[in-house]
Amino acid sequence: MKKSSKIILLVIAVIAVGAIVYRAVNTAPPASMQADARVLKIMEKGGCAECHIADPKLPFYANWPIARTVITEDIVEGYKAFDVVPMMEAIANGEAVNEVDLAKVEKTVMDGTMPLAKYYLVHWGSSLTKKKSDIFLEWIKEHRAQFYPNPLAVAEFANESVRPVPDAVEYDKAKADLGNVLYHDTRLSADGTVSCATCHGINTAGVDNLKYSEGIGGQLGGVNAPTVYNAYFNFVQFWDGRAATLAEQAAGPPLNPVEMGCSSFDEIVARLSEDRAFVEAFNLVYPEGLSQATITDAIAHYEMTLITPNSRFDRYLKGEKDAMTAEEIAGYELFKEYSCATCHAGVNMGGLSFELMGQRADYFKDRELQEKSGLTDGDNGRWAQTGVERDRYRFRTPGLRNVELTYPYYHDGSVKTLEEAVRMMAKYQVGEELTEQEVNSITGFLRTLTGEYNGELLTNDNMK
């Protein structure tokens, strides 16, 4: 065991014990705390950290010829699929575990697929007995109820990994109104031809339906434009997660040379300042005046209005049984069975984690054979921000709300139909070959995810 992994495990253990003692001393020990400690113990005993950590501890027989091959392979595959450290740290600190991690572990425990059967053949740990599985699943349920309350869903669906879109989120109306103007304002671009809405049309489901977007002077970007609808619910923005908030995101396009091409926000402020009426209205809401900070803040408030509640699926979760057909409900069951609801969890059904594109098959190799085009900068995904090799080809998962309207699909915009996107997800992310019937069933379900904007069903003018 390398020093660094020893230190990580030690730190987790110390934090766990420390946090538990601290909470025990400072508050009456709540039941949840004992449950946390119990689950950490199960994970420790189950060897989760031995395969799902950067630098794992190896048992003495790891050097035996057969064991070496099997174990090395499991550890490589295990860490590729799941990093257990953030989850164990969160539990130890009494903090929220990421919804996607919860969903993934829940799914593996329910399926009885983890820890791997062959792991026990070499007597390396103890199995998750039925009792331990039940404790684990009950803990996940309680953790969800505590950190991701789901008051909109009826009791039957309160513990689903997917939650309905709320009717509204809190925002400042006056700021959002200014943001609305700025969002549609071509003065944010160098040559006055491009606004946010050029690539994220409000009447075209927040996208441009192009493989790559067209910026000023007809220049093409290198990745597909995700929708602005429900972007608020994403844990970070952009495929590589380089913006932490909507406001931070909004500072990007105006200065991006192929998108809006301005040299600085001073240039934008100067242009907008010539418009006396606008400046007056703006200063009433932002006494500090026009600046990068206030412009992007206003746009962010506007984007908080771009959410789409009341899809047929959400109405079903809220108890309206006939909002979905039997066939569509069957599609939802398949969506859960094939683990789609793990990475595509939460309110936006995605947007909460970075995931490897090609978890179970080499997506980029196959794409190259098909298109004869090599890898692009955009394919690097999260790696572009961290330089960490594990992050290469990992993308901030897209949300699936309104997905029937937001074609083409994937970060490279290479997939034209929803059917194909679903079939390929099963192959590359889940390692399953879907039948035609299953593809149609899941796609049918995904079409129920189209929500309402301003009380009307979201549509896409490009499809009319």
Segment 145 to 174, residues that bind ligand HEC, using CB under 6 A: none
Neighbours of 273 (CB within 10 A): 13
Using CB under 6 A as the binding rule, whether residue 143 contacts ligand HEC is answered as no
CA distance 60 to 178: 65
- Tell which positions 3-62 bind ligand HEC, by CB under 6 A: 43, 46-48, 50-52
The reply on whether position 331 binds ligand HEC by CB under 6 A is no
The least CB distance from residue 276 to ligand HEC, in Å, is 23
In the numeric block, which tokens belong to residue 2? 């390398």
By CB under 6 A, name the one of 91, 430, 449, 458 that touches ligand HEC.
430
Residue 39's nearest CA partner among 92, 84, 78, 85 is 92
Provide the CB-side half-sphere exposure for 238 (13 A, CA).
23
Binding residues for ligand HEC, rule CB under 6 A, total 74
Kindly tell me which residue out of 201, 261, 398, 451 binds ligand HEC, with binding defined by CB under 6 A.
Answer: 398
Q: Is 116 in the site for ligand HEC (CB under 6 A)?
A: yes
| 81 touching ligand HEC, by CB under 6 A | yes
Q: How many whole angstroms separate alpha carbon 405 and alpha carbon 201?
A: 12
Stretch that binds ligand HEC, among 6-14, 75-83, 274-282, 324-332 (CB under 6 A): 75-83
Q: Catalytic one among 259, 303, 328, 438?
A: 259
| The binder of ligand HEC chosen from 114, 135, 272, 405 (CB under 6 A) | 114
Closest CA to 300 of 199, 206, 231, 401: 231
Least Cβ distance, residue 363 to ligand HEC (angstroms): 7
Q: Is 380 in the site for ligand HEC (CB under 6 A)?
A: no
Tokens of 193: 């031809």
Nearest CB to ligand HEC, comparing residues 130 and 321: 130
Return the amino acid letter for 34.
Answer: Q
Q: Is 77 a catalytic residue?
A: no
Residue 277 CA to residue 283 CA, distance in Å, equals 10
From residue 288 to residue 307, the character string flagging contacts with ligand HEC as x (rule: CB under 6 A) and all else as - is: -----------x--------
Rounded-to-integer distance, Cα 455 and Cα 182, Å: 23
Q: Which of 139, 229, 239, 316 binds ligand HEC (CB under 6 A)?
A: 239
Count of Cβ atoms closer than 10 Å to residue 321 Cβ: 9
Sign of the dihedral defined by the CA atoms of residues 447, 448, 453, 457, in that order: positive
CB of 165 to ligand HEC, least distance (A): 15
| Closer residue to ligand HEC, CB minimum distance, 253 or 451 | 253
The rounded distance, in Å, linking the Cα atoms of 354 and 411 is 13
Residues 171-200 that bind ligand HEC (CB under 6 A): 183, 188, 194, 196, 198-200
228/272 with CB nearer ligand HEC = 228
CA-closest candidate to residue 444, choices 300, 329, 315, 342: 329
Cis? peptide before 408, omega within 30° of 0: yes
Closer Cβ to ligand HEC, 238 or 316, answer by number: 238
Nearer to ligand HEC, 254 or 309 (CB): 254
Q: How far is the CB of 315 from ligand HEC (least distance, A)?
A: 21
Beta carbons within 8 Å of 173's beta carbon, 6+ residues apart: none
Structure tokens at 208: 């441009």
Cα 257 to Cα 215: distance, rounded to the nearest angstrom: 8
Rounded CA-CA distance 143/149 in Å is 9
Burial class from Cβ neighbours inside 10 Å (0-12, 13-18, 19+) for residue 177 reads middle
Minimal distance, residue 269 CB to ligand HEC, in Å:
14
Single out the residue of 282, 332, 409, 453 in contact with ligand HEC (rule: CB under 6 A): 409
91-99, 156-164, 246-254, 313-321 -> range binding ligand HEC (CB under 6 A): 246-254
**Cβ-based nearer residue to ligand HEC, 24 or 44:** 44
- Determine which residue in the list 90, 115, 209, 380 makes contact with ligand HEC, applying CB under 6 A: 115
Q: Which is nearer to ligand HEC, 24 or 148 (CB)?
A: 148
Q: Using the structure block, give the residue that is written with the tokens 């002077």.
A: 217
Q: Minimum distance between the CB of residue 90 and ligand HEC, rounded to whole angstroms?
A: 14
Residues serving a catalytic function are 259
